[in-house]
A = this chain, B = another copy of it.
Amino acid sequence: MRRDLKKNTAEVSPAVINRLPRYYRYLRELLRQGILRISSGELSEKMNVTASQIRQDLNCFGGFGQQGYGYNVTYLCSKISDILGVSNGFTSVIVGTGNMGRALAGSTMFEHRGVNLIGLFDNAPSVIGQIVDGYQVMDVETLPAFAEKYHIDIAILTVPKAEAETVAQKILSSGIRAIWNFSSAEILQENPVAIVENVHMGDSLMKLMYELRTAEENTGR
Contacts and interface: CB of A to CB of B under 8 A. Distances in A.
A86 B209 contact: yes
Nearest to A6: B217
Contact of A212 (B102, B177, B211): B177
A159 interface: no
A9 B209 CA distance: 14
Contacts of A207: 17-18, 21, 197
B90 A98 contact: no
Given A84-B206, A85-B213, A197-B207, 16 more contacts: A6-B217, A9-B214, A20-B206, A20-B210, A21-B200, A22-B203, A85-B206, A86-B206, A86-B209, A107-B184, A154-B212, A180-B204, A195-B211, A195-B212, A195-B215, A197-B205
Instruction: Give the interface residue-count category, chain A.
Output: 35 or more
Interface string A28-50: 00000000000000000000000
Interface of A: 2, 6, 9, 17-18, 20-22, 24-25, 83-86, 88, 90, 98-100, 102-103, 106-110, 112-113, 115, 153-154, 177-178, 180, 184, 193, 195, 197, 199-217, 219
Contact of A99 (B106, B193, B197): B106
A102 B97 CA distance: 13
A20 to B, nearest CB: 7
Nearest to A186: B29
Contact of A211 (B103, B197, B217): B197
A85 B178 contact: no
Contacts of A108: 184
Contacts of A109: 184, 201-202, 205
A206 B21 contact: yes
Nearest to A178: B212
